[in-house]
A = this chain, B = another copy of it.
Amino acid sequence: MPGEPAEAPRAKSARAYSIATVCLSGTLDDRLEAAARAGFDGVEIFENDLIASASRVAEIRARAADLGLRIELYQPFRDAEGAPPERFKSVLRRMRAKLDLAAELGAPTVLVCSSVAPDTIGDDDLAAGQLHVLAGLAADRGLRLAYEALAWGRQVSTWEHSWGLVQRAGHPALGLCLDSFHVLSRTSDYAGIRSLPGDKIFFLQLADAPRLDMDVLQWSRHHRLFPLQGGFDLAGFTRAVDTTGYAGPLSLEVFNDVFRQADPHRTAVDAMRSLIALDDAVRPAAGQPGPLVPAPVLDGIAFAELTVDAESGPELQRWLGLLGFSHVGQHRSKPVQLWEQGGARILLNSSVDRSAPAEGSAAISAFALDSEQPARSAERAAQLLARPLPRTRAAAEADLTAVAAPDGTQIFFGRSEPDGPYGWLGDFLATGDRSGHPAGITGIDHLSLAQPYDRFDEAGLFYRSILGLRDDEAAEYAAPYGLVRTLAVHDPGGRVRLALSVPLLRRGEWAPGVTHPQHITLATGDIEATAAALTAAGAPLLPIPANYYDDLDARLALDPALLTRLRRIGGLYDEDAHGRYVQLFTPVISGRVFFEISQRIGGYRGYGLANEPVRMAAHRALRRAGRPDRGGRLGGVRRGR
């Protein structure tokens, strides 16, 4: 199944990894199974998941044991401390019941979160006394209470305050639960945590989040992310906790609208990857080796591979010819063509690859990275649970390890050289064809990959952790049919760039003409010369609306000569603080893929995303124009009211 985690052993860690069942979707059974299959050592059982389960407590305990999962925590117990005396009676009653349940469940610790009830009394002595009493009930059963400050707690909302109460209560069965979200959503100054005694930190919950300016309760309930997926300093926070000598599990507690409805097996693997990467980021600073082999330096995108069929194959060959590529090689054992121009290499693969994942209907079915150490790149990917893809390989062929990206795209690690164990060029027999008239293309600038809705945050973490890529600024733009989120990533050397995109909301049925073609951006050092060559070759590029240039002129007061040239070549233009960018586009080919040709002038760091709405509308207009039955441009079809 697509959610199957890698069977490769994860990077070894002495630490126990745990996940709260609330992070995952499905029945409690679905969630436990997903956690176990992703390799977690333990779980937190979220109360509502247990209440709704058709299984009795003893059955759940047995099931977890069968799956090799420790039940680390039962959570949450709410509105305990600061209760008015009359209500405290019902708190005691409820606590006894929940402690009995935890004991039966085999959970050694129950999480108590700070009260939110409006009648909570702000009296630390009262609250500490009550916590002492409750801890006594826990101790009677051989259990412990971990007290946590909710960021929106009525009286207690900081870790310092919760620690004050724990000290004041002074009961051995009462300790702290630290939750990175509750701490980091309120402050970036968490240095004081280092001075806590580690043995009084009973539990550590980890969650990242994007930096949002909104009500903290809503932020927490809907937008948490796994570590290294958001904007919080999870590594620094975890390091601070480690300093105390805390020896308990690293446990994830993430409330996220998408994860709540996504395949729990996929989510659990994503979650485990985040913990491994976090652990790797934390330990070197503590003087220990990280569990991961370092990400090797990447030299660039070796090739992009398009899977073609009887319809799209000839069409893409025609287009590669128009763009100045030559069909320079033919694979020794497979129906794969190598097309080349400058440093840009594109493979057309007309085999049906049964190993390709079902979701591999993307136009760009694979790409390869030139790694300085391909075997280590592959080893790191395996350590981070990338799903390995089996490849059939003849004896003399290169040892290209492939893994599946979250969107199903296959990623190969190799070397663009004819020889050596990873030299994939040797797998191709030279055709001797150099018939293409080069148009000045020098390489692949970047790949634009539309992502599956449920896997966008997973994809960001995947590329950051496995390939060592870094984020460019994330963006959002209004496309003709809805908002689009983007995240671009690049390697430190600037030789590998990927632009990921996803609709802000999952698309519904009303999406006429909306496809999510992927595209390959080809670099040129002289966009005008390239445009001239393409025009000479008869390549029909994407027409750009005149209104666009009028606006460009009004906004940027470009040199009139430049504007004239842009209009002539149909170029889109962008600039940032570092440089300028000019883009040309082909039409969408076979409904699945198109090419961008771009020139970076100066140190421009973007991807021309500001122009995406115009590009998309232009592709839409071209598509309509090609299908007159669907109605043409404004004024083309006139219907009365």
Contacts and interface: CB of A to CB of B under 8 A. Distances in A.
Nearest to A90: B557
Given A218-B214, A547-B51, A482 B257 contact: yes
13 contacts: A26-B480, A27-B480, A29-B634, A52-B614, A53-B547, A57-B547, A59-B634, A94-B555, A97-B554, A98-B554, A212-B218, A214-B215, A261-B511
A413 B554 CA distance: 57
A34 B583 CA distance: 33
A56 B218 contact: no
A481 B94 CA distance: 28
A59 B633 contact: yes
A635 interface: yes
Nearest to A546: B56
A510 B550 contact: no
Given A51-B551, A54-B543, A557-B93, A28 B63 contact: no
Interface stretch (A490-498, A499-507, A585-593): A499-507
B214 A261 contact: no
B454 A547 contact: no
A29 to B, nearest CB: 5
A12 interface: no
Interface residues of A, number: 88
B27 A620 contact: yes
Interface in A6-24: 22
Given A47-B551, A52-B480, 15 more contacts: A27-B621, A51-B548, A51-B551, A51-B614, A52-B548, A54-B617, A55-B545, A66-B638, A257-B482, A261-B503, A261-B505, A266-B510, A505-B505, A506-B506, A506-B508
A256 B585 CA distance: 30
Contacts of A26: 480-481, 512
A503 B257 CA distance: 10
A245 to B, nearest CB: 31
Contacts of A93: 554, 557
A385 B29 CA distance: 47
Given A508-B454, A633-B54, A550 B97 contact: yes
Interface of A: 22, 25-29, 32-33, 36-37, 47-48, 50-57, 59-60, 62-63, 66-68, 90, 93-94, 97-98, 101, 212-215, 218, 222, 257-258, 260-263, 266, 453-454, 478, 480-483, 503-508, 510-512, 543, 545-548, 550-551, 553-555, 557, 613-614, 616-618, 620-621, 631, 633-635, 638-641
A634 to B, nearest CB: 4
A193 B98 CA distance: 57
Nearest to A258: B505
Given A26-B480, A218-B214, A53 B261 contact: no
B508 A553 contact: no
Contacts of A634: 28-29, 32, 53-55, 59-60, 63
A37 B641 contact: yes
Nearest to A454: B508
Interface centre among A25, A480, A483, by most chain B C-beta atoms within 10 angstroms, is: A480
A613 B504 CA distance: 27
Contacts of A94: 554-555
A635 B59 contact: yes
Given A261-B503, A633-B59, A547 B50 contact: yes
Contacts of A616: 52
Nearest to A215: B213
A97 to B, nearest CB: 4
A503 B67 CA distance: 31
A384 to B, nearest CB: 19
Contacts of A66: 635, 638, 640
A625 to B, nearest CB: 8
A331 to B, nearest CB: 33
A504 B261 CA distance: 10
Contact of A613 (B52, B63, B503): B52
A110 B302 CA distance: 51
A612 to B, nearest CB: 10
Nearest to A555: B94
A52 B214 CA distance: 32
B510 A55 contact: no
Contact of A55 (B512, B551, B633): B633
Contacts of A620: 27
B635 A63 contact: yes
Contact of A508 (B51, B453, B551): B453
Contacts of A27: 480, 617, 620-621
A107 to B, nearest CB: 14
Nearest to A266: B510
Contacts of A641: 36-37, 67-68
B214 A54 contact: no
Contact of A545 (B53, B213, B553): B53
Interface centre among A510, A614, A620, by most chain B C-beta atoms within 10 angstroms, is: A510
Given A478-B48, A635-B63, A641-B37, A547 B56 contact: yes
A570 to B, nearest CB: 12
Contacts of A639: 33
B55 A635 contact: yes
B480 A25 contact: yes
Contacts of A28: 634
Contact of A262 (B51, B98, B257, B510): B510
